[in-house]
Structure 1
C-alpha cells in the first residue's frame, strides 16, 4: 500500500516539474526592455552584456546565461530576470562605487604612496567597491608596512555611504614603532670576520650613530640588498661559488625587536688565467680583448667580468649593434682553483633608431633636451652617442637625473626613451630689511636658468634702501643659433646716497651694459667672449683708509687717534671732504672651458678646466688685466656614494699702460665659504694702515674634499655631506707699488707658501625645496695673530 502511494506521488511530482519546465522555457518576442534598480549606470551597460533587442525572439531558457553575464561584469550585487507579458524585466542592484579614499594616522608611508599601492591592485576612486575584497586590500597595506619593519601596525576601516550609491573608504592607520635590530648573527664565514662582513651592510644593530643613519630600523628590502652586498663582497675577491644559504628573521613577541641570522657558504677562491673571444663580430677580437678589465693571475672578480662584458657590448654597439649579447662561459679547474673564460659573442642585427622619446619633462619643452642629442633619429644606433646625449642632458642645472632605455622594435629598429627627473633650479627672493645705516629697505629677486621651460637663463633683481638703490637684469640664450652659439645681455645699476655715518671703505655708483657669447669648439670644450661698458663713480667716506683716499687723488691729515683714517674734527677748516672719481671702463674677456663632469650639481666623475683673461682696453680710465687658471676633478671611490674631489685655482692681475697696479676696486680677496672656510669672508691677506683687508693682485686656492651621500638618504641626489681641507691666500706681486707713508702692506711681495692659510672641517649641502643650503664647520690649522676666524658658516638661497 505504501509503495503504491509513493509511486503515485513520484509520478505527480515529475509531471508538475515537466509542466513548470515547459512553461519556463517558453519563447516570446520581446516588445520592450525594462531595467529596474539602476542608480549610476546607464541601461546600455546592461543591454550590451545580455545581447538582446526588442523585436527579437527570446527563449526563457537563456535567462541563467544572461544573469551569469551580468554578474561577470562585477558591477552588480544582485540580478534577476522576469517576464511581464512580452516585456523583459531586468532587476539589478548595483555595487557601490568608490568616491574617495581617505587615510589618517599614516606618517612613515605618505598618502600618495599608499594610494599607489592600492591603485596597483585596482582599488581607487571610480572603481566598483566589493566588500568581499576588503580583507585582501588591508593585507596588501600590512605587507607594505612590514617591508619597512613595522610589524605592530594596525589598520581599521570605515565605509561611509554617500548619495548616488557611492562610498567613502576610510583607513585609520596606527603605524606603531619600526622594529629595531637587536642582533645580527653570521655563520659559515671562515676567511672574513663577522666585523668585516657587517661593515658591508647598511643594516646594523642599534648604536649612537643610529640616531642619524637609522641603520637599526629593519626593512626586508634593505636586508635583501645587504645580502647582495655580501655576495658581491665575496665574488669580487675570488669566491665565485659563494652562496647565501639562508637568512632568517625572528621577531620578539611585542613586534619591536628583530634577530637576524645569515648563513653563508664561502666556497673556494679562484684565480683568472685567461680569456678567449668566440663568435663573429665586426670589431677585431684583438681590440675586444684589450677592453677586458679583469687581469690574468688575479682573483676572480664578478664586478670586473661584468664591466668587461659591458665594455665589449658598448664597443660593438658603437658599430650599430644595439643588442649584442656577450656570454662569459667559465672553464673551472677545481684541482688548481683557476678559471678561464670564453666570451661568446652574438652581435645580432645592425639597428637604426626609429624614434627618440622624452618622458618626465613636465616643465621643460622637448626641444630643450633634443638639441642636446648626439644620437639622431633615422641614423644607425651608436652606444657612445646615446650615452653622450644622456650625459649632456644630465649636466643641465634643472635636471636631477635621466635614464636612457633602449627598446627593440623588430630586428633592425630601436626606440630610445630618455626618462627625465627635473629639479627646481630657479630662485626667487622677496624681503624687507633694516640697517643702522640703510634704515628700512626692500629687495626682490628672480633667477631661472630654465625660463618658462625654454632652457633660457633669465634673472632680475631690485633693491632699495635709505642709502642704496640697485637693479640688475640678465638674459642668456644658450642656443642663440642652431649650431650652439650662445648669446646674452646683462644690465645693472647701483647708486649709493652718502650719509654722514657711512662707514664703508668706499662706495660706488655704477651703470653697466654687457654682452656675452659662447661657442662649442669640441664636444667638451667651449670658448666664451664678453664685452661691456661700465660707468663707475667711486667715492671715499669718513671711514676710508688713507691709501684709498690717496689713490682717488685726495689728501688729508692723518688722524692721530685712529691711525690710518683721515682727520675728522669739528673745525670746518680741517674737516675731511669726500673724494669722488668718475671712471669709464670698457671691459672685455675671453675664456676657454673644458668640462667632462657627469653633472654640474653634485658631480661624481669627470673634470673641469678653465683658462681666462679679462680686463679693460684702451679708452678706459684704468687699464688692467686679470688672468685665471682653474682645474677641478672628481673621482668616484665607491660609485656615486663616495667621491674624491680636488680643486685648484690661481688668479693674477696687474695694470698696464698708464695704470701702474691692479686698481684697488679690482683686488682679489680670500677667506670664506668659496675659498678658505674657517676664516671670515674676504679677511685674509695684506691690510691697510687702519687694519682693514686690502686684497691683492694674486690669489691662490686649493681644496680637497671627500663627498659622500648622507646615511639614510643614499638615493637622494640633492643632498651631500663632505670632509674637506682648504688652503688659500692673496699676495701682492713683487713689482706692485703699494708703499705709503713708509708702510708697505705687502712686504717683499710675490707668492710665499709660508703665508698660506689652511683649514679642515665638514660641510653639508642640500638642494632643498626651500632653497640651496650650504653649511660648514671648519677649524683653521695655522691661523696667526690678527686673523679673523669664523668656524661656522652658511649660505642660503630660496628657489621656487
Structure 2
C-alpha cells in the first residue's frame, strides 16, 4: 500500500466521521437499553465503554452521539467510527487502525539502527503501536533532523508501508545518506586589530585537514559554532575590548548541500584600560580581606576573565561565612574620551544559611557512602563555600565519574536553609595496560595488566599484572582500600612472584623473587599523603649457564637465597589539573625502603618531580626529574638484584628498557645504586586535530644515567641522551604514548630501541 492510498483513506475516514455524526444526530432521544460494539480486533471493549459519554439507562440524543464519536476518534485507535440505532439498542461500529508490526531501516550507515528506533519512539512510532500517518510524517522529519545534526544535509528518507495479515503494517525507512556537508569557508568580517587567521585559529571548527576524518572538525555543528563564537568574544574581552560584539552570524548551505560557508560579522570597539577598582556595599567589615581577592590591576587592559574570577572569588568568600545567596556585581563606569574604565564591585551578602540535606544523584553503581565520605561539608552545618568546593573536587578526584557538579536549592518556606544536590555521571573504572617494545635482538616483548578502581561500587581497587614472556615472567596482585579507617587512612596489599632470565633458553640463570607487603596511606592535607608499611621478600638466584660474575660473587658471599624485611615510608603531593592529560600543576613523590631484618640489609630512596606549564591554548611544557639512591648497611653491600636500571619508557627513550647501567666483568648489565632521569616535553594538538587534547603529539629530550657502586656518584660524562617525537592518545583503554627516539649521546654496546609504546603511563 502506498502513502497516497493512505492519504485517500484518511480523507475517506474524515468524510465517514462527518456522515456518521450526521446519522447519529438524525434520531429522536431515547433511553438506551443496550450498547453493542462491532469491528473490534485488538482493542478491548472496556476502552470504548470508558471513553463514550453514554451508559445503559441513559437518554441518548444528538449531542451525546457527537461527543461519543469525537472521543473515540480522539483515542487514535480507529480510522472509522459509526453509531447506528436499532430500536433502543445503540450499535457502535469501528474500524481499527492497522498496528505497526515492524520498523526497519535500509541504507543507514551513520547511525546504529537502535539509535534511530529510539528516536522514532520519542515521536510515538514503534512496534506494536497503532499506525498513524501524522506520526509517519513526524518520524521522517525526526530522521532528517538526526542526519542534519551530523551535517548530512543531503540525506533523503523514503518510507514504504507494507500491509500484512491481521490488520498490521511493516514500515521500512530507506535512507540515502549522501556525503556529509563540510565547511568550505569561514570568514570573520569587521576585524582590524587581529588578523583573520589568528582569530580562526581559536576555533575548533575549521575547513578541514588531513586528520579531519578523525576529528570531524570540518563538520558544521551549531553548538560548536556557538562555543567558537564565545571563544572569540572571550579573546577580545580579555584584551581590553570591553564593547566588542558579534553583530551577526550567517551559515549558508550551498545548493549542492555538500559545502557550508560561515560568515561572522564583528564590531571590535575601542580598547579600554582599567583606571581603578572600588568596593561598595556590605563586605561584613572585612574590606581588606575582600580587597586581597581582587586580581584586577589599574593600568592594565580590561580583562573580562579577571573580572569574572574576582566576582566569583568574592562570592565564594562570602560563602565561607555562610552567605549562600550573596550577590556581587561588577559595574563598569566607562570614560570614552580617555578609553578608561573604572570598575565598581557592588556586594550584597543577603542572608546566612545552613545546609539542611545533601543529596547524591547519578551513582547507580557506586555506593552512596563512597561518595559521601569525601564530603567536607556536612548536613545541619553552616553553608561553607570552601568546604563545598573541596567536597566536589574530592569526589571528582576519585576518578569514578565523568561529570561532577553541585547544585544549591533554597528550601521552600525556609529562607535560611539550602539543600545541596551532587550530580554525578559514572564511567567505566576498569582499565587495561599494555606495554611493548621491539628490538632486533630480542624481538617483541609484551606485558598485560588489568585493574578495577571501583570494584563492585565499593571504592576499593583490585589489580593484577601478568607477564608471560620467557625472559620476564611475573604475576602481581594488589588491592587498595582507600578508607581502611573512617579517618581516610588507606591500606594497600601487594603479593607478587617474578622470574627474570636474560635469555629465552631456560638453561640460563634465573632470578626468582616472591613476596608481599602492606602499606598504609595517611592524608595530612587535601593534597599531601604520607605512606608507611612493611613486607617480606625472598629472592633466589637459580644458577645456570652464563651466571654473571656479580651475581656469583654475591651468592658466594651471602647465599643463593636471601630474605629481606623492608619497611617503607613515602610521601606524595598531587596538584595537577588532571592525572590522565595534565596541562598545569605539579606532582611530587618520595619513597624510602629500609630492610631491617633478614639476609639482605640495605636502604633505598627515590624522588620524582613533575611540572606542567601551559604556554597557551595549544602548547604545554612538561618537565620530569627522578633520582634514586641505594646503599648496603653495615658490612653488606646493596643486593645486586636491588640495583637501579635505566633506559626505555619512563627513563631515556631510544634505549632498550632496563639496558642502561654498569656492567660486570662478564659484560652483563647489572645496574647501579644511583640513578638520574631528566625529561622535557613540549605537547601540542596533533596536526589536523584542532584543539583536541585527547590526541596530541610531543617532542622530547631525555637525559639519564646509572652509577656503579656504593659511594660513586653519577658522572655527567656517562649520561645518555636522546631526542624524538611521539603521539599521546587518551584511548578507550587508557592513555597511550608512542615514541620515536634517536640517541644523541650513546656508547659502544648500548642496545638501541627506536620505537616504543605503552598504555597507562605519562612520562
- Is 1:484 the counterpart of 2:463 in the alignment? no
Which whole-Å CA distance do the structure 1 matches of 2:466 and 2:192 have between them?
A: 68
Q: Which residue in 2 is equivalent to 1:575?
A: none
Q: Which residue in 2 is equivalent to 1:13?
A: none
Which whole-Å CA distance do the structure 2 matches of 1:322 and 1:99 have between them?
A: 56
**Mapped contact 2:471–2:504 kept (Cα < 8 A):** no
TM-score by length of 1: 0.82
**Mapped contact 1:762–1:777 kept (Cα < 8 A):** yes
**Mapped contact 1:212–1:711 kept (Cα < 8 A):** no
Q: Which residue in 2 is equivalent to 1:702?
A: 678
**Mapped contact 2:474–2:499 kept (Cα < 8 A):** yes
Q: Say if 1:233 and 1:418 are closer, same or farther in 2 by CA, change over 3 A.
A: same
Q: CA-to-partner distance for each residue in 1:725-783, whole Å, 9 max, x for gaps?
A: 333221235x54xxxxxxxxxxxx31333433333333334453456533222333333
Q: Which residue in 1 is equivalent to 2:743?
A: 780
Q: CA-to-partner distance for each residue in 1:113-162, whole Å, 9 max, x for gaps?
A: 54565455455556654212433432343344334432222222233556
**Mapped contact 1:283–1:316 kept (Cα < 8 A):** no
- SS of 1:601 mapped into structure 2: coil
- SS of 2:550 mapped into structure 1: helix
- SS of 1:24 mapped into structure 2: coil
Which whole-Å CA distance do the structure 2 matches of 1:500 and 1:235 have between them?
A: 64
Which whole-Å CA distance do the structure 1 matches of 2:350 and 2:167 have between them?
A: 58
Q: CA-to-partner distance for each residue in 1:353-374, whole Å, 9 max, x for gaps?
A: 3443333334322222222222
Q: Which residue in 2 is equivalent to 1:745?
A: none
Q: Which residue in 1 is equivalent to 2:370?
A: 368
Q: CA-to-partner distance for each residue in 1:366-424, whole Å, 9 max, x for gaps?
A: 22222222222333332222222222222224434423333444333223122223133
Which whole-Å CA distance do the structure 2 matches of 1:209 and 1:116 have between them?
A: 31
Q: CA-to-partner distance for each residue in 1:654-713, whole Å, 9 max, x for gaps?
A: 111121x32110011111111122221112232233433221111112223344566787
Query: How much has 1:452 moved relative to structure 2?
Result: 1.8
Which whole-Å CA distance do the structure 2 matches of 1:409 and 1:399 have between them?
A: 28
- SS of 1:159 mapped into structure 2: strand
**Mapped contact 1:545–1:688 kept (Cα < 8 A):** yes
Query: How much has 1:589 moved relative to structure 2?
Result: 0.6
Alignment of 1:295-694 (within 5 A): 295-410=297-412, 411=415, 412-427=417-432, 446-460=450-464, 471-494=475-498, 501-502=505-506, 506-553=509-556, 581-617=560-596, 619-637=597-615, 643-659=620-636, 661-694=637-670
Q: Which deviates the most, 524-533 or 467-476?
A: 467-476
Query: How much has 1:653 moved relative to structure 2?
Result: 0.6
Which whole-Å CA distance do the structure 1 matches of 2:538 and 2:723 have between them?
A: 41
Q: More relative contact order in 1 or in 2 (CA 8 Å, sep 6+)? A: 2
Q: Say if 1:658 and 1:597 are closer, same or farther in 2 by CA, change over 3 A.
A: same
Which whole-Å CA distance do the structure 2 matches of 1:694 and 1:64 have between them?
A: 99
Structure 2 gap segments, 5+ residues each: 1-21, 435-440
Q: CA-to-partner distance for each residue in 1:279-305, whole Å, 9 max, x for gaps?
A: 334472332232222221211222222
- SS of 1:484 mapped into structure 2: coil
| C-alpha RMSD of the superposition | 3.7
Q: Which residue in 2 is equivalent to 1:26?
A: 29
Q: Say if 1:127 and 1:322 are closer, same or farther in 2 by CA, change over 3 A.
A: farther
- SS of 2:69 mapped into structure 1: helix
- SS of 1:552 mapped into structure 2: helix
Alignment of 1:217-236 (within 5 A): 217-236=219-238
Query: How much has 1:464 moved relative to structure 2?
Result: 7.5
- SS of 1:763 mapped into structure 2: strand
**Mapped contact 2:182–2:258 kept (Cα < 8 A):** yes
Q: Which deviates the most, 338-347 or 355-364?
A: 355-364
**Mapped contact 2:38–2:92 kept (Cα < 8 A):** yes
Which whole-Å CA distance do the structure 2 matches of 1:74 and 1:500 have between them?
A: 76
Which whole-Å CA distance do the structure 2 matches of 1:266 and 1:350 have between them?
A: 42
- SS of 1:781 mapped into structure 2: strand
Query: How much has 1:508 moved relative to structure 2?
Result: 2.4
- Is 1:753 the counterpart of 2:716 in the alignment? yes
Query: How much has 1:256 moved relative to structure 2?
Result: 2.4
Q: Which residue in 2 is equivalent to 1:794?
A: 757
Q: Which deviates the most, 198-207 or 587-596?
A: 198-207
Which whole-Å CA distance do the structure 1 matches of 2:485 and 2:428 have between them?
A: 26
Q: Which deviates the most, 128-137 or 210-219?
A: 210-219
Q: Which deviates the most, 395-404 or 583-592?
A: 395-404
Which whole-Å CA distance do the structure 2 matches of 1:168 and 1:85 have between them?
A: 42
Q: Say if 1:42 and 1:708 are closer, same or farther in 2 by CA, change over 3 A.
A: farther
Which whole-Å CA distance do the structure 2 matches of 1:544 and 1:534 have between them?
A: 22
Query: How much has 1:636 moved relative to structure 2?
Result: 4.4
Q: Which residue in 2 is equivalent to 1:726?
A: 702
Which has the larger Rg? 1
Which whole-Å CA distance do the structure 2 matches of 1:604 and 1:366 have between them?
A: 31
Matched residues, number: 731
**Mapped contact 1:351–1:414 kept (Cα < 8 A):** no
Structure 1 gap segments, 5+ residues each: 1-18, 430-435, 555-578, 737-748
Query: How much has 1:95 moved relative to structure 2?
Result: 4.0
Q: Say if 1:444 and 1:680 are closer, same or farther in 2 by CA, change over 3 A.
A: closer
Which whole-Å CA distance do the structure 2 matches of 1:786 and 1:21 have between them?
A: 105
Q: Which deviates the most, 98-107 or 683-692?
A: 98-107
Q: CA-to-partner distance for each residue in 1:291-338, whole Å, 9 max, x for gaps?
A: 222221211222222222221221122223333332222211111111
TM-score by length of 2: 0.85
Which whole-Å CA distance do the structure 1 matches of 2:122 and 2:25 have between them?
A: 49
Query: How much has 1:626 moved relative to structure 2?
Result: 0.5
- SS of 2:329 mapped into structure 1: strand
- Is 1:274 the counterpart of 2:276 in the alignment? yes
Q: Which residue in 2 is equivalent to 1:78?
A: 80
Q: Which residue in 2 is equivalent to 1:16?
A: none
- SS of 1:181 mapped into structure 2: strand
Which whole-Å CA distance do the structure 2 matches of 1:716 and 1:366 have between them?
A: 34
Q: CA-to-partner distance for each residue in 1:92-117, whole Å, 9 max, x for gaps?
A: 34445556544443344454554565
Which whole-Å CA distance do the structure 1 matches of 2:269 and 2:143 have between them?
A: 40
**Mapped contact 1:622–1:658 kept (Cα < 8 A):** no
Which whole-Å CA distance do the structure 2 matches of 1:417 and 1:103 have between them?
A: 40
Q: CA-to-partner distance for each residue in 1:158-193, whole Å, 9 max, x for gaps?
A: 335567666554333322222233333332122122
- SS of 2:606 mapped into structure 1: strand
Q: CA-to-partner distance for each residue in 1:619-671, whole Å, 9 max, x for gaps?
A: 311210001222223344557x7544322221111111121x32110011111
